[in-house]
Structure 1
Amino acid sequence: MSIAATLLAASASFGWFSYDGADPVDQAVVVAPDEYRNPILQGFYPDPSITQVGEDYYLVHSTFSWFPGIPVWHSRDLVSWRQIGNAIDRPDQLDFGKLGMSRGVFAPAIEHHAGTFYILNTCVDCGGNFVITASDPAGPWSDPVWLPDLEGGIDPSLFVDADGNAWLINNGPPVGTPRYDGHRAIWIQKFDLATLKTMGERTVLIDGGVEPDTNPVWIEGPHIYQHDGWYYLSCAEGGTSLNHSQVILRSRTPDGPYTPGPNPILTQRDLPADRPYPVTAAGHADFVTTPDGRWWASFLAIRPYAGDFANTGRETFLLPVEWHDGWPQILPPATPIPLSLPRPLPADTAGAPPTSGAFAWREEFDGPTLSPEWIGMRIPREQWWDLAAEPGTLTLQVRPDGLGSFGNPSFLGRRQSHAHASAATSVTLQGDVGQAGLAAVQNDDYWLAIAVTRQGGTQKVRLLRRAGPEEVAAGIAVAEASVPASGPVELKAEADGATYRFSYRDEAGWHQLGPDQDGTLLSTERAGGFTGAVFGLFASDVP
């Protein structure tokens, strides 16, 4: 039986998918034509790493256990980005098994040297540290080459000196017994670009952080840069929550010793919590230069809608880097991240989708493949989706894996990019089993969904919720209503900060199904981990 025939036997067909989002700050902060808006990439795009090849810039992010993994973006103005591929896009590259959604691939670092692109990365609980390469950043990328000498560490990055010598830098355990929880070290080791193997002894560059006597935590995300005869080591420090920061050190040689400069060079932890439109948890920066010699930093930060609650995850921001007395600074102390600034380069927006501010888009499923922004939960081991079974539709096979199964459910989604947003679709359920619909997913234990079900010739819509591991994996049915026994059903999910609403449409119009739902369960403050919420389409035979 063909893939199309198999899918149609018990499946759901989605005719379109739309997204619309706008936050209050989008109206409050006016952006002039020669300015750009922060963040430059809204939604779950954490741990940005950037590299430059002539007038072209390339950016990558963490995706943890989502697949395809490690999106690769291209820009010529540092603001308008087009996703050109995913570095982890083949099921045989990595195996996420049944890992939680915040395990898998952490903090990739992209570099380019002599015609080859390199991504250094860690597959947490699924193999350790590795390097992949490509001649074209759009792919294909190679299979992982594992780096056993970096065992126990994360966040590897590559530095190639002007003399051609290459070095790997990463976070790892300190020498001996850690003195406190979060005590880590930054290590360096030579690297052979020809064989993709480490060489010689590993050396500790930082033990603990820039002020070891204060027991600093989670020094990580290291990058080395060369400037005016100095080697600068930039790292994140303080953990990825409110105390996140970026710190800087320098040395006359790549392998140290390094001396700390005025630190931190970026943080938001020294600002009042009640400031308007707060941005928090800033750090994990990577530097790049423009043709005129100016330095810029991409980094992550969070936009909470209340307190520490944020469903959009950690997003990508961009700021200029100023040099003072031989030291770089992204922001002075106690300075809020600017939400609009002059553009770093002339605008190059042709073909770039909206990624910042208020925007909307619609997917008609009328192409031969899905756009690279679509992601699913873990690695697929079979083809359960299709765009050709019914032209102009996305068909998902009804399968045993559900949203709470810690498997690979028939689910494809795209990131929630605003605290105030809506997603909608039209679904037709084939066969007399299973359910299919629209979900807002943070991870296996925390999600909300509206599903169409059919049993005994009747069709209903059902509101489902899973608000923690203590609730059943299939979710709790919160409400249901009858709809026509056949034909497509339109569904909608609306996010209003901490409140989510789910609706269906019939001949009389839209109807909210069940009461307002507590959307804080989709925040990392409640659900934990490092990701953000994803709106998506699903099908399963879970009752």
Structure 2
Amino acid sequence: MRIRIVLTFILLATGLLGCTEQRATVAVPQTAQASFSWFEYQGSDPVFAEPLAPDQYQNPVVAGFFPDPSITRRGDDYYMAVSSFTYTPGVPILHSRDLVNWQLIGHALTRESQLDVSGARGSRGIFAPTLRYHDGVFYMITTLIDNGGNFFVTATDPAGPWSDPVWLPELDGIDPDIFFDDDGRVYIAHNGPPPGEPLYEGHRAIWLWEFDPKLQKVKASSGRIIVNGGVDLSKQPIWIEAPHLYKINDWYYLLCAEGGTADEHSEVVFRTRSLDQAFEPYEGNPILTQRDLDPSRPDPITTAGHADIVQTPDGEWWAIFLATRAYDQRFYNTGREAFLLPVSWQDDWPTILPAGETVTYRPVRPAGLDNHPVLEPLTGNFTWRDEFNQPALNFHWSLLRDFARQWLKIANDKLQVQPQAGRLSSLEPVSFIGRRQQHMHYRASTALTLSASGLSAGITALQSEAYHYYLGVRRSSNGTTIFLEQADGEGVDIIASEQLSVSGDTEIGLAIEGDKDKVRFFYQLDGETWLPLGGSFDGKLLSTQVAGGFVGTMLGLHSRLEKQDI
């Protein structure tokens, strides 16, 4: 019992992954659906197990796939935006009162008029946003790769609604930043091409443009390069990106990521007295990195960089940045996470972390900010459960390349999902919702019933269209089968299956357990006993180092049309 879908380099390169196989499906009534009774996620990482001291907070402050964080402040409230790539709704917006306890409050891009990621591969779509508050208005500026380029949206309430996009066709590149100077002028900085031909692979530049807020247009003749290559072009620095501009004590500061978003990632800083003058790099760069540390250290935090800073009412400066928690030195399935550290100053230069020091899991809390716990924590060990007893999907659920939700609804305390033909390995519309894996050690579980033959439904661990697991239940004329499907970058195989002696209305429990590089799968027929399907499987297939790209693993629910007899 084996399905093979060849995933060639050509299909990946052309975006036609999974679209070449013709699949004969049985005619399924439009009312056919999978009904999920609940979904539960439990995280239990040892680094989170020890209680915090009263003056400590937990890093990461936002665990799991919440990358490229940008932060802004309005009064006593802090807001964060992160990248979403091809997941919808786009650009999660988070809120905190103390910088360490964060709550997901909504998304900036919640409708098709704002975002079109149809047909996009998993690590395309929305790249790094910048979030800023100015004069009563929030601005979120970002890049839609492959289908529009750079744009911004605005809102008076960061929870939404947000405006339709204002497109910025003059900008050629990614990672835009918007900066409001104290003289009323507005600027946009971004990563873009260097002057002339690139001198080496990864040679990029930082561009600066003036923006007209009344016309909502970039001043076309204003663009110029302010950083070519990075801190020292003679050393061939790679991937200077993620610029953020600030004016502090009559200095203009430019923070950028450098070195790529993997093991060599870092944060660097430049400054100038005037935006009409050249930026000077800091002799103490990088001001944040973990690349020089022993990779065999216990519980390593790696890939630190891509920072944004904010000032508290007490005058302290704090940096939010991405990093990853690795196992086996450099593997991680949870994606790039959001960490917090204080900023120190010397001779009017900022430093986030002195050279050779490790990002700590339990730093001292920000002074002057009272503790404000949240209802649904995003770090530490916790259990999250959805009983599907609210009229709308919880904010933690994401869809894949899709805003058209006619295939799902919540009714009678069930999530009812109609199957589509699209498989997880394709770029077609797919019936899938997922929430982020936020721990190395986790358990995700659900219970479902199927209303008809000709479809399957189940639980999935999805890293990308080419790397994932799907634990599914299928009804056909031959009865009910539970199966485990694996996508390993070369194809999609059913690697375990069993026939089940159950009636059509039996509720079947499904579970995934992850333990760093191992993943196991279970099913339940009597509401009590969990039975394994197969043994232990390769969890590294769900890691960024194997799968590539920029996203983390999503754990969720899937249904699709199937052949009648397979």
* TM-score normalised by the chain length of structure 2: 0.92
Which one-letter code corresponds to 1:456 in the other structure?
S
Aligned partner of 2:15 in structure 1 is none
- Structure 1 unaligned runs (5+)? 1-5
Q: Does 1:312 align with 2:334?
A: yes
1:36 aligns with 2:86: no
Q: 1:221-260 alignment to 2 at 5 Å?
A: 221-260=242-281
- Of 128, 132, 146, which aligns to 1:107? 128
2:552 is paired with a residue whose SS is coil
Identity %: 47
1:181-205 per-residue CA deviation (whole Å, 9 max, x = no partner) reads 0000001010112222101320111
Matched with 1:3 is none
Higher-strand-fraction structure: 1
**Which residue does 1:340 correspond to in 2?**
362
* Cα distance, 1:61–1:456 mapped onto 2, change above 3 Å: same
**Which position in structure 2 is the counterpart of 1:500?**
519
SS in 2 for 1:341: coil
1:482 aligns with 2:500: yes
> 1:238 Cα deviation (Å)?
0.2
Tell me if the contact between 1:205 and 1:255 (Cα under 8 Å) persists in the aligned partners.
Answer: no
CA distance in 2, matches of 1:271, 1:7: 58
Q: For 2:185 and 2:276, how far apart are their aligned partners in 1?
A: 12
Distance apart, 1:355 and its partner CA: 1.1
Q: Deviations over 1:312-358 (max 9, x none)?
A: 00000000000011100000001000111121153443543121111
**Alignment partner of 1:443: what SS?**
coil
Q: For residues 406-442 of structure 1, give each alpha carbon's deviation from its aligned partner in whole angstroms, at most 9, with x where no partner exists.
A: 1221100100000110000001111111100000000
SS in 1 for 2:541: helix
2:389 matched to which residue of 1? 366
Q: How far apart in 2 are the matches of 1:512 and 1:446?
A: 22
**Within 5 A, what are the aligned runs for 1:276-315?**
276-315=298-337
Kindly state the Cα deviation for residue 254 of structure 1 after the two structures are TM-superposed: 2.6
- Which of 126, 129, 136 is matched with 2:150 structurally? 129
Equivalence for 1:83: 104
Question: Residue 97 of structure 1 aligns to a residue in which SS?
Answer: coil
CA distance in 1, matches of 2:554, 2:271: 40
SS at match of 1:149: coil
Q: Does 1:414 align with 2:414?
A: no
**1:182 paired to 2:220:** no
| Equivalent residues in 2 for 1:355-394, closer than 5 Å | 355-388=378-411, 391-394=412-415
Q: TM-score, normalised by structure 1?
A: 0.95
Structure 1 position 444 matched with structure 2 position 465: yes
Give 1:225 deviation, angstroms.
Answer: 0.9
**For 2:421 and 2:349, how far apart are their aligned partners in 1?**
56
Q: 1:157 aligns with which of 168, 177, 190?
A: 177
What residue in structure 1 maps to residue 21 of structure 2? none
Distance in 1, matches of 2:370 and 2:428, equals 42
SS at match of 1:520: helix
**Equivalent residue pairs, number:** 531
**Does the CA contact (< 8 Å) of 1:232 and 1:248 recur in 2?**
yes
Q: Structure 1, residues 52-106: CA drift from partner, whole Å, max 9, x if none?
A: 1111111000010111110011111111111111111102322112111100000
Q: Distance in 2 between matches of 1:453 and 1:308?
A: 37
User: How far apart in 1 are the matches of 2:555 and 2:29?
Assistant: 22
Aligned 8 A contact 1:166 1:193 in 2: yes
Distance 2:99 2:375 in 1: 12
Q: Distance in 2 between matches of 1:93 and 1:255?
A: 34
The corresponding residue for 2:294 is 272
C-alpha separation in 2, matches of 1:202 and 1:452: 56
- Name 1:10's counterpart in structure 2: 32
- 1:521 aligns to what SS in structure 2? helix
CA distance in 2, matches of 1:365, 1:293: 43
Q: Name the SS for the 1:426 alignment partner.
A: strand
**Partner AA of 1:26 in structure 2:** F
Q: CA contact under 8 A between 1:251 and 1:258: conserved in structure 2?
A: yes
Q: How does 1:431-470 map to 2 (within 5 A)?
A: 431-456=452-477, 458-468=479-489, 470=490
Moved more, 331-340 or 255-264: 255-264
Counterpart residue identity of residue 530, structure 1: F
Query: Any idea what SS the aligned residue of 2:546 has?
Result: helix
Q: Distance in 2 between matches of 1:79 and 1:351?
A: 10
Distance in 2 between residues matched to 1:300 and 1:321, nearest whole Å = 15
Matching residue within 209, 213, 216 for 1:193: 213
Task: Return the offset for 1:7.
Answer: 9.3
- Gaps of at least 5 residues in structure 2 are 1-27
Aligned 8 A contact 2:65 2:334 in 1: yes
Q: d(CA) in 1 for partners of 2:396 and 2:136?
A: 26
Q: For residues 256 and 401 of structure 2, what CA distance do their matches in structure 1 show?
A: 29
Question: Per-residue deviation at 1:30?
Answer: 4.5
Letter in 2 for 1:284: H
Q: CA RMSD in A?
A: 1.5
Letter of the 1:239 counterpart: G
Pairing partner for 2:536 from 512, 516, 526:
516
> 1:371 offset after TM fit, Å?
1.3
Structure 1 residue 8: Cα displacement:
7.1
Question: Partners of 1:7 and 1:419 in 2: how far apart?
Answer: 40
Q: For residue 56 of structure 1, what is the aligned residue in structure 2? A: 77
